[in-house]
Amino acid sequence: METSVQVLRGVGVQRAAQLEKLGIRTIQDLLLHYPRGYVDLSRPHSIQSAPLDGPCAVLATVVKKSGETRIRGGMKLYKVTVEDTSGSMELTFFNNRYAVDALSYDTPYLFYGRVEGNFLRRSMASPMVYPLRPDRPFFPIYRLTAGLSGRVLANLVDQALERSPALPEVLPSAIREEHDLWGIGEAIRAIHHPASLEEAQQARRRFIFEELFTLAVGMGILKSRTHGSTAVAMHPCDLQPFYDALPFPLTDAQRRAIEELTADMCRSIPANRLVQGDVGSGKTMVAAAGAWFAWKSGAQSALMAPTELLAQQHYENLSKLLGKLGMQVGLLTGSHTAAQKRKIREALATGKIDLCIGTHALLTQGVEFQNLGLVVTDEQHRFGVAQRALLQQKGPRAHTLVMSATPIPRTLALMIYGELDLSVIDQMPPGRQPVKTYKISSPKQDRAFGFIREHLDKGFQAYIVCPLVEGAQEVGLHAATDYLEELSQKYFKGYRLGLLHGRMKAAEKERVMSSFKRGEIQLLVSTTVVEVGVDVPNAVIMLVENAERFGLSQLHQLRGRVGRGKVQSYCILVSDSRASETLDRLQMLCRSSNGFEIAEYDLKTRGPGNFLGQEQHGLPRMRIADLSTDLREVEEAQLAAQQLLREDPQVTAPEHAPLREAVERLIQAVGGRPN
């Protein structure tokens, strides 16, 4: 099964490269390239009875091929007349001489497409042509890539099936029986060539289950590696000195979360707590309290943030706050020099640093803690599951706190974190006013710029976010700088503008960000790097261009950059999209300032950058299951996985060998190390 696709007829270097783009290297990959759907050829129509309101299959025989006609633009057009007992129909093919030549006069074909015309004259443009195969009533539709047609791919899959492949059976038979799932051989045939839609459904169900089950087992193993059975139990202590050191009183919700966390930390069972609170609800204080609490018991803490910007900001705030209380706070990011890193590593290993804030750099080898008691992951959804597991390995006896503004369904949370306790911060710090949100179209943007100028004149600051430079090369960079230039020449002459984007060096970003914080930069033009966590309370307007390109939760995060002080803040969404769905989505954001409500809506409508996109939960990309909708299946698979792990915790039983292999592949895919 690990045989390369190159053994198949018609697969040379070029074809292999195309297949590789789809992630297909081996015969097995090819067979596991599941169809996205099927062309229904099961009940072909006669020419006269074909409906005119949608695509359908018509069974007919070729009676005439006209020659080639050239039309404008150098296109070549071919006409073919087909007949059945009910009448005749004219087919047009564009630039596809090959398809026309291949049609024979002797056998009927199924022509699939949209029938047009009236009772007397019927026609079909660019039909798909299928041979009549009563044993293949549904033709599979595959995800394709440039240069690779559906027909070619289907043919390759057929060749692979003809080799009578013995795919490994990942699902133990007991589980298949219990959940009424087909075996791999039957299922793989049925998913590519179902005899009925029910069969296709059954086959899909099996593969969805298989995928989720493998994932659940993999997560279970990852967790079992990191969750030691005992943790450092902290000494109970009065939190008042911590509260007294804060510049503001905490909200009840914050205090509740802190009390729940610190109570957990006093037990010798490792705490595993998720703090969920909307953008701006003050989650950082919970992390600070936890770190302080651990320090009182002589333990170290680590706080991992997804971006340098955020790590830097946490460092500035927390070193000030906790330094006052006598704690040593350190910062470790990728942009430190080797010498700086060595110094911090030493201080960590000898216990001189009490709280270390950092990015992924915390995960690198050689970072050792003397006595790690609490591991905090901020904006957890931005990390891969394996990354979090790695941090955990730095302190096998540490308690865990994860913080997030994006709620995820309970069942999925269970899979990702295992059993975890939840603290919800459902209250904003006092004095916050909801951010007023408006949607405008670009002709009105001039007025919005004027509105921004008025606020800058009053001493406030603002953001303009545009979807530039994301992943783009030099072109994008130029576009961003050009745009900054245009803004400062045309609309913001005499104002101090700054540019921030993901392709800048960390030190440069930091410089821009801190000068924005100090108010030297009045207007920050940025890509979505400001999305998570950035906190500048004097910034009161957030203008987002091409708002339709962002997911709702992402827009909500962006909006969360303003409204952090006591002044009325504004979010202006610029979009010229006319799609009613997009308008509805943006309107939803104008109406609601509740992150949970927004996430729920996002989940239901599934727009761009849906919050359960891969970036948002760190799980590997699914081939067939859908983590935002197949929740019942997630739960079923999770239960089955737990049952299996109870009997065979490391999946080492010989009969589980195929499962073990699949799980290892998956763990590697999420960046973990297999045992």
Task: Please give the residue ranges that form the binding site for ligand ADP (CB under 6 A).
Answer: 248, 250-251, 254, 277, 279-285, 429, 533, 535, 537, 564
CA distance 136 to 157: 14
| Residue 290, contacted partner among ligand ADP, Mg ion, none, CB below 5-8 A by kind | none
Name the minimum Å distance from CB 588 to ligand ADP.
21
Minimum separation from the CB atom of position 433 to ligand ADP (A): 13
* Residue, CB closest to Mg ion: 533
Q: Other CB atoms closer than 10 Å to residue 74's CB: what's the count? A: 7
Residue 537 site contact among ligand ADP, Mg ion, none (CB < 5 to 8 Å, cut-off depends on kind):
ligand ADP
What CA–CA distance (Å, rounded) separates 102 from 148?
Answer: 18
The site partner of 250 among ligand ADP, Mg ion, none (C-beta below 5 to 8 Å per kind) is: ligand ADP
Q: Is 618 left (phi over 0), alpha (psi -120 to 50) or beta?
A: left
Segment contacting Mg ion (CB under 5 A): 124-132, 180-188, 230-238, 529-537? Answer: 529-537
CB of 292 to Mg ion, least distance (A): 17
Nearest to ligand ADP of 284, 522 (CB atom): 284
Q: Which residues lie across from 372 on neighbouring strands?
A: 300
Contact indicator for 507, 535 with CB cutoff of 8 Å: no
Question: What are the start-end ranges of the H helices in 382-470?
Answer: 385-393, 410-417, 445-457
Task: Determine how β-strand 75-84 pairs with β-strand 55-71.
Answer: antiparallel
Beta carbon of residue 610, minimum distance to ligand ADP (angstroms, whole number)? 21
- Residue 392 touches which member of ligand ADP, Mg ion, none, C-beta under 5-8 Å by kind: none
Cβ proximity of 404 and 276 under 8 Å: yes
Residue 373 binds Mg ion (CB under 5 A)? no
The residue among 614, 639, 648 whose CA lies nearest residue 385 is: 614
Binding-site partner at residue 607 among ligand ADP, Mg ion, none, CB < 5 to 8 Å by type: none
Residue 479 is encoded by which pair of tokens?
């576009």
User: Closer CB to ligand ADP, residue 167 or residue 325?
Assistant: 325
Is 600 within 8 Å of 556 (Cβ atoms)? no
Residue closer to ligand ADP by CB (options 284, 461) is 284
In the complex with Mg ion, which residue's Cβ is closer, 289 or 480? 289
One-letter amino acid at 330 equals G
Comparing CB distances to ligand ADP, the nearer of 285 and 525 is 285
Q: How far is the CB of 172 from ligand ADP (least distance, A)?
A: 43
In one-letter notation, the amino acid at residue 499 is L
| Residue 330 sits in the site that holds Mg ion (CB under 5 A) | no
Distances in whole angstroms, Cα of residue 543 to Cα of each of 55, 62, 464, 471: 44, 60, 5, 21
β-partners of residue 570 are: 436, 541
How far apart are CB 530 and Mg ion at their closest, in Å?
13
Residue with tokens 């710090």: 429
Residue 31 to residue 621: CA distance in whole angstroms: 18
> Which of 559/660 has CB closer to ligand ADP?
559
Report which DSSP code applies to 247. Answer: S
Whole-number Å distance between alpha carbons of 28 and 628: 27
By a kind-dependent CB cut-off of 5 to 8 A, residue 251 interacts, out of Mg ion, ligand ADP, none, with ligand ADP
Residue with smaller CB distance to Mg ion, 38 or 611: 611
**Shortest approach of ligand ADP to residue 403 CB, angstroms?**
7
Binding mask 530-569 for Mg ion (x = CB under 5 A): ---x------------------------------------
Shortest Å, Cβ 369 to ligand ADP: 24
Would you tell me how many other CB atoms lie within 10 Å of the CB of residue 263?
A: 12
Instruction: Tell me the residue number closest to ligand ADP, measured at CB.
Output: 282
Q: Which residues bind Mg ion (CB under 5 A)?
A: 533
